[in-house]
Every structure is written in structure tokens, then in C-alpha cells.
Structure 1
């Protein structure tokens, strides 16, 4: 039995999604520039095609059934993806769109300043960036590839190593002048800034320095950039990736408080589905970013 037997037309699905979202045949008809009877007819045709009641009809109101509610969520996402694909194609009729998910700080501080070089070398490709922090299912998402930070684990995805990461303890110049720290052990008496996604980063750093400790406390942050700004403002000492704070170090807004740069447990990868590896925009981007990151292919 061919699956296309169960593939309704876009017009039927658009009518269903509009009624499901607005809760009104009248509002849906106005949005779609159709008559109410035309929208009602499309809903009935869709229900007949599927063999399932999607709405409960009470007097002049309609309400999604349990089955209709679940179907509406999936159809809404499918229509969104079709719309995005159409917008991408219109923006670049020759094709060549790459949808890339990136962590915000990496995207802003490392990737964005370099991306112009890739686009110059690949003038037919458009790169769309979205912010993502955790792995997702490529099979159900419209993302072609993602920058993954952490261990080499992403279900059902191919991972290309881009770079390792080194971190160092930094603070503002004034903070360093006023706290009189000269050894790693003395940092235990100072306010330490912590990142939510790396709760054991300071523990690993002190262990690497051979410093014993009981417990570590301090302000919590959910994003590198905010933590870097807090350190530059004199709120404490932050353990930050060196390559992501290159500008602050160069300008003197942040300074190393003790010699203690170490390689962190996190590494950077390009993640994608193996069967999409030959997609031309992804293939071109993969070769470029591996070269840019300094890892041999």
C-alpha cells in the first residue's frame, strides 16, 4: 500500500491547521481568504480521507478531538518546515542553503567573524544560523548540521572533531591588583564564577593544579558571554575558554590571575547525519570549517 494514499493536499492541511490554531472556522476562513463553507468542506474532506474525526462540533463552535490535537501539532511543524524551505529557495533560487545550529557564544565569537571567508569562497551558498545548546534529532528537524561542544556523543549523527579547548582563570585587572593572589591554592578564598553547563569545571582545574578543596561555591551563569562580562566587571574569577575571550585579553579587559591554562574536557565537533554528508553546501562547509579549525581532514 503506497504511503501517498494517506498524503492530503496542502490546501486541506492548511485549512485544518488554521481552524485548529484559531479555534474558529470564521477566523480561519478570513485568514485563508476563503468562505466559511469552503473551509468546513475542506475539514470534512480531510476527516474522510483520514477516517478520523478531528473536531468536536457543538453548535457554532469547534474543538479539537484528542487525535486532532496531536495531529495539529505535527502538521503545524510540517507546514513550518515547508514554508521555511520555500523562503530559503526564494532567497537563493540556485539552491545551496545550509541550516546550521550553533551555541551562542561560539557562533558570535568564533564562527561569525570567519563566516564571511566561507561565503566569499562559496558564493552560491546561504548559511542560516540558529542557536542550539543541546543535541536534537536531525531526522525531525530542519537543521543540516550543528556545532557540538562536549564529548563525542550524539545519537544517530556523524561527528567531525574540530578543536580541543583550553581554559584559564581570568578576572579584571583591578580585581587582580586588589586580591594579592600568587598561587592556585589562594583562589579558593576568592569569589569563583561558575557555568551551569559545566558544574565541575573548577573542580577539574583545582585537581589538575594539585590543590585540595572541600567544596566550591560562587555565582552561577548560564552563558559564557555574561560570565565573561561579570568577570570583567570585577565580580570574581571565571574559568573561560581562551579562544573565546581573545578580544577581552587583547584589550586588557580580562587578565590571567595565575598561570594555569589547561585543556578542558570539552571538545568542539561538527555534527550531521552521515547520509547528508554529500549535500553540497554541507560538504563545502565541512571542508572549510575543519581547515579553519586547524584539524586535518
Structure 2
């Protein structure tokens, strides 16, 4: 069967320009001139007989035809790159590459990997913990676990865990006090940073607990939840943490809960893949295993009080 396809360079130029929404940035990515990208895109539009970009108003926007073409083209290029990359290394074809948030990786995923290996010994994982996974811009990742509201363009997202916030500290900080006997104004509050600000988990928890008079602007702040949890374990102060991340510490008594108050977080952990990406056997195995671990966690990883 003979295929009637546009030139490869024109398709590559369109994909880069569509992802960047800029001919200049696309040219930098492809190591060519801006005029070359513009010319290739124009050639593609002429061959297809439709406009792929709306160039009005000084901004580059995809038309309906461009929005239809981009995900198919991205998927095709990804599959080619994945297959070609594995031709010289058969191990690469069986290796699943996943990016995971640092705290989720260290506290939830890594402790369970022995169970995954026992069930699927042929499944090999490469795990990275970059804050930005660049799933749409880089083809080496098969998928990622993201923390957020689950709304990302051109991404298929499956909910894994909804955050449940509890206030915790090391047992000795309580000095025998329990519940509302604990004066939070006497303890250091531990926060988690969000870009230049911080997550407002303390404000939400205090409101749910009905506690007033606590200055939430004070205390220590960390860029990852893992550090806030470690600080709490070591008696530095009190933090509000996701129960899923501290289940073992609560069971062992390394951390204790201040009050029987839980607050559902505004963000969650999601398994994400590219939209319309053909799912590999390994990704399907990994997805099913994640679902099982979430729905029926082993007793030694209990996330209940």
C-alpha cells in the first residue's frame, strides 16, 4: 500500500511550532532558521489545503485542523522514536520510564517496588523525580505521576490518590498533652513551598479544627513534603502532611496526630500519559498494579489510623 504523506521536515516543523506556538522557538529546537520553519509549515498547509495556524493578532494559535493533527503526529513520532531507540538495545523495549514527584517516590512508590518485582519480575523501571516531567516535549518517558488538579491539555489522567491532610509531630513534643490541650503557638509550624508561595494546608486544617489565634505566616518552609515530614519526625516542629505519605510513621509511633481532624486536599496524585498514546504491555501492567496497591494496600503500608 503506497502512502501519500507530506514531507517529513514539514511535519516536524509543524509539530515543533504547534508545541511552542512560536516559529522562533521551534527553529531553536530544530536548529534551523525561523524562516525555514515558517516556510515548511506554509508548504504543509498548501499541500493539505487547510490552515493549521491562526496568525492574526500577532499570536500563533492552532486552528481546529491543527488541533486535530498535532496529537496524531506527536503519537506517531513518539512511536517511531521509541521503536528506533530500542532496535539496538532490546532491554530498552522492556524498560518502563516514569517520572514521579520526589515525596511520592520515596514514601509511597519505592517501598512497594519489591511487591511489583515479585509480581512482574521482567518489568524493569527507570524512575526520575524531576519537578517538571516534560511528558509532551520529550519522548523518552512512557508516563508520569503528577501532583495537581488533574487538568492538563493533551494528557490522559487517572486519579490515584486524593490527599488527606492531618497535623502531626514527634511524640515528645506533646509533653503528655493531647488534643486541644496542645498550644500550637508554642511550636514551630512546618510548611511546604509552592513556587514563591507556600501551600495553605495549615490554614485549611486550622479552620476545619476550629482553632483560632495561630499565626500561620511563621515557621520553616521546605520545597518538598519529604523534608517537612523529616523535620517533624526529628522534633523540629509540627506539620500538616498527607496521611498516605506517613502511614508507616503513624503505625510505628514516630509521628502522632494532634487531633482527629482530617482535611481533604485540593490536589491529588494522578497517573498521566499522552493523549491517544498507544499503551504498551508494560504500562498496562504498571497501571493495574498501581490500582491494586491503592485499592488494597498491604497491612505494613497501612494508611489508616
By the TM > 0.5 criterion, same fold?
Answer: yes
- Partner SS for 1:140: coil
- Partner SS for 2:109: helix
The structure 1 residue matched to 2:192, chosen from 191, 195, 203, is: 195
Q: CA deviation at 1:70?
A: 7.1
Q: Which residue of 1 aligns with 2:112?
A: 114
Q: Which residue of 2 aligns with 1:224?
A: 225
Cα distance in 1 for partners of 2:29, 2:145 equals: 34
Q: Evaluate the alpha carbon distance shift between residue 153 and residue 207 of structure 1 in structure 2; reply closer, same or farther with a 3 A threshold.
A: same
What are the ranges of 5 or more consecutive residues in structure 1 without an aligned counterpart?
8-66, 73-81
Q: Evaluate the alpha carbon distance shift between residue 111 and residue 176 of structure 1 in structure 2; reply closer, same or farther with a 3 A threshold.
A: same
What number of residue pairs does the alignment pair up?
227
Decide which structure has the larger Cα Rg and report it. Answer: 1
Q: Deviations over 1:126-178 (max 9, x none)?
A: 21100023463424342111111121122210000112121211111111117
- Asked if 1:208 is matched to 2:208, the reply is yes
1:184 and 1:258 in contact (8 A); partners too: no
Q: Evaluate the alpha carbon distance shift between residue 249 and residue 219 of structure 1 in structure 2; reply closer, same or farther with a 3 A threshold.
A: same
RMSD: 3.4
- Asked if 1:169 is matched to 2:167, the reply is yes
Q: Deviations over 1:67-124 (max 9, x none)?
A: 889729xxxxxxxxx79x858963617x222110101121122112222333333343
Q: Which residue of 1 aligns with 2:91?
A: 92
Q: CA deviation at 1:241?
A: 1.4
Q: Which residue of 2 aligns with 1:156?
A: 154
Q: Evaluate the alpha carbon distance shift between residue 194 and residue 6 of structure 1 in structure 2; reply closer, same or farther with a 3 A threshold.
A: closer
Q: Evaluate the alpha carbon distance shift between residue 257 and residue 70 of structure 1 in structure 2; reply closer, same or farther with a 3 A threshold.
A: same
TM-score by length of 2: 0.64
- Partner SS for 1:260: coil
Q: CA deviation at 1:214?
A: 7.0
